[in-house]
Amino acid sequence: MSDLLWNLLSFVVAIGLLVTVHEFGHFWVARKNGVLVKRFSIGFGKALYSWRDRQGTEYVIAAIPLGGYVRMLDERTDPVLPQFHDLTFNSKTVWQRMAIIAAGPVANFLFAIALLWLMYLIGVPNIRPVIGQVQPGSVAAVAAVPAKSQILAVNGEKAEDWRAVSLLLVEQVGKPSAELTVQTEQGQQQSVQLDLTRWTFDPDTQSVFGSLGIEPLRPEVLTKISGVEAGSAAELAGLQVGDTIVAINGDVVTSWQSMVQLVQNSPEKLLKFTLERDGDHLTLDVTPQSRETADGFHQGFLGVSPTVMPWPEHMQFTQQYGPLEAIWVGMEKTWQLTRLTVSMLGKFIFGDISVKHLSGPISIAQGAGSSADIGFIAFLSFLAMISVNLGVINLLPLPILDGGHLMYLVLELIRGKPVSERAQELGFRIGSLLLLTLMGIALLNDISRL
């Protein structure tokens, strides 16, 4: 329950911020162009709190925090006295109206730049993208990607950390090949070509690295116990923090992962653990608890966590820049996120990625909660990504979105007169149907992942 509340709170904060920024873009440019804004609402439904400014704009915080809107004076929907004609949206030139409509998405892109600027001004701790192992028979193995090498670039674009590598690799979905530039353990640079013609990537079940057969280098995991969960099979059997697991049923334990695999394959089965405690060896009878997985299988669960060695200093670095340089980095990262979002939309349209991978509000809430749980920097990164997504999606040429309004205004420029009300109404209905269908698919996908 606490996780649910935390995710919900993080989601409300994230959506509230992003919607406020988006609508403020419309609001600010509308006022600069002499349009009277009647209402600036964050959320829909019943007003929880409202106030008015000297120019007559009503500001509203509404009960349903899933969007917002700016309502401008418009003779097509409001009775307007002749003396107030110049304050209406419809009285402005086509270029002014286009600027007002485009200001919302533009504000989201500028907000992403500001968030990323703040991130890199504070400093982002990172780990160098060094490959640990390459799985035999995988895409990476066929390309002869060397283990223990550091990835420097993907298709010539520099990648300093695993997140950058991940974003660049996801962009390659649907393409026949990709080039990795790596630096070997011996310090030599080389390029390898990944054949992606048979590459399959399921974002719901695997990482982009795992799908290519690349295992990132990780700190050494010892077989020494660092934590015991209260009420778990381990606590009931007498396992303690500081115990080192030496053997199970007489077989020597060579790694933590091999122990985990054995335990998972032994639900409610008696296992004899040989432990080292304070220099002495002892044997304890342990019966792993049984837990059902999402696939309906039963796995053993012990309730212990391992001791993980710290990252070597040469693997750690902090991406931190001065105020001016951080602006440029923020712009670069925002462009990369924008390009990736547009690319992924294209992959959905052309079938390179299935619509089953669309995410809705539940996934966004979980992402908001988990990023906020990690820390302030992670939450800023999450906000920047969603802000870019919101900006791109709003520019889609669907009549119910900003992009649809811009499309009608472009047609008005070409034709020299507005698109008929009937055509606009038909477009809004079709756009609403398409958008509701996509939202429904995304929500069903979210529910299926729970």
pLDDT score, position 352: 65
Q: Are residues 112 and 9 in the same domain?
A: yes
> What is the C-alpha to C-alpha distance for residues 48 and 234, in angstroms, rounded to an integer?
50
Q: Given 194, 218, 242, which residue is the final one in a domain?
A: 218
Q: How far is CA 134 from CA 130, 217, 222, in A?
A: 11, 10, 22
Contact 68, 22 (CB under 8 A): yes
Q: Is 259 exposed, middle or buried (0-12, 13-18, 19+ CB in 10 A)?
A: buried
Residue type, 358: L
> What is the C-alpha to C-alpha distance for residues 134 and 194, in angstroms, rounded to an integer?
13
Q: Are residues 119 and 157 in the same domain?
A: no
In a domain, 294, yes or no: yes
pLDDT score, position 187: 86
In a domain, 85, yes or no: no
Q: Are residues 134 and 191 in the same domain?
A: yes
Q: Are residues 198 and 233 in the same domain?
A: no
58 is annotated as an active-site residue: no
Beta strands in 120-248 (DSSP E): 124-127, 131-134, 150-154, 157-158, 177-183, 189-195, 214-216, 221-228, 244-248
> What is the C-alpha to C-alpha distance for residues 273 and 307, in angstroms, rounded to an integer?
18
Q: Are residues 105 and 15 in the same domain?
A: yes
Q: Are residues 143 and 118 in the same domain?
A: no
In a domain, 181, yes or no: yes
> What is the C-alpha to C-alpha distance for residues 293 and 395, in angstroms, rounded to an integer?
40
**Residues facing 275 on adjacent strands:** 245, 282
In a domain, 141, yes or no: yes
pLDDT score, position 360: 47
> What is the C-alpha to C-alpha distance for residues 378 and 385, in angstroms, rounded to an integer?
11
**Residues facing 134 on adjacent strands:** 214
Q: Are residues 275 and 300 in the same domain?
A: yes
Question: 300: which 2 tokens?
Answer: 């053993």
Q: Are residues 104 and 22 in the same domain?
A: yes
Q: How far is CA 394 from CA 15, 105, 181, in A?
A: 15, 6, 36
> What is the C-alpha to C-alpha distance for residues 384 and 392, in angstroms, rounded to an integer?
12
> What is the C-alpha to C-alpha distance for residues 357 and 348, in angstroms, rounded to an integer?
9
In a domain, 399, yes or no: yes
> What is the C-alpha to C-alpha distance for residues 311 and 339, in angstroms, rounded to an integer?
32
| Domain count across the chain | 3
Q: Are residues 14 and 97 in the same domain?
A: yes
pLDDT score, position 27: 94
pLDDT score, position 245: 94
> What is the C-alpha to C-alpha distance for residues 415 and 422, in angstroms, rounded to an integer?
16
pLDDT score, position 1: 44
Question: 322: which 2 tokens?
Answer: 């001065």
Sign, CA dihedral 439-441-447-449, equals negative
Q: Are residues 97 and 14 in the same domain?
A: yes
In the three-class reduction of DSSP (H, G, I as helix; E, B as strand; rest coil), residue 289 is classed as strand
Residues in the chain, total: 450
Q: Are residues 251 and 295 in the same domain?
A: yes
> Which H/E stretch holds residue 330?
helix 323-350
Q: Given 286, 309, 332, which residue is the final one in a domain?
A: 309
Q: Are residues 119 and 130 in the same domain?
A: no
Domain around 148:
124-218
Question: 398: which 2 tokens?
Answer: 């669907």
In a domain, 213, yes or no: yes
DSSP 3-state percent helix, strand, coil across the chain (nearest 5) = 45, 25, 30
Contact 94, 42 (CB under 8 A): no
In the three-class reduction of DSSP (H, G, I as helix; E, B as strand; rest coil), residue 317 is classed as strand
Instruction: Return the CATH number at 281.
Output: 2.30.42.10
> What is the C-alpha to C-alpha distance for residues 170 and 237, in angstroms, rounded to an integer?
45
Nearest to 400, CA basis, from 365, 439, 446, 363: 439
- Total-model pTM: 0.80
- Strand pairing report for 58-72 and 131-134: unpaired
> What is the C-alpha to C-alpha distance for residues 5 and 284, in angstroms, rounded to an integer?
40
In a domain, 49, yes or no: no
Per-residue pLDDT tens listing for the chain (450 residues): 466 676 677 777 788 888 899 999 999 999 999 999 999 998 888 888 999 998 889 999 988 877 888 999 988 888 888 888 899 998 999 999 999 999 999 999 999 999 999 999 999 888 899 998 899 999 999 999 998 999 999 998 898 888 888 888 888 888 899 999 999 888 899 999 999 888 887 776 778 888 898 988 888 889 999 999 999 999 999 999 999 999 999 999 989 989 999 999 999 999 999 999 998 999 999 999 988 776 677 889 999 999 998 888 888 889 999 999 999 999 999 998 898 888 877 777 776 666 555 554 445 444 545 555 557 888 888 889 889 988 998 998 888 889 988 998 998 888 888 888 788 788 778 777 777 776 666 556 555 555
Q: Given 201, 218, 235, which residue is the final one in a domain?
A: 218
In a domain, 118, yes or no: yes
Q: Is 239 exposed, middle or buried (0-12, 13-18, 19+ CB in 10 A)?
A: buried
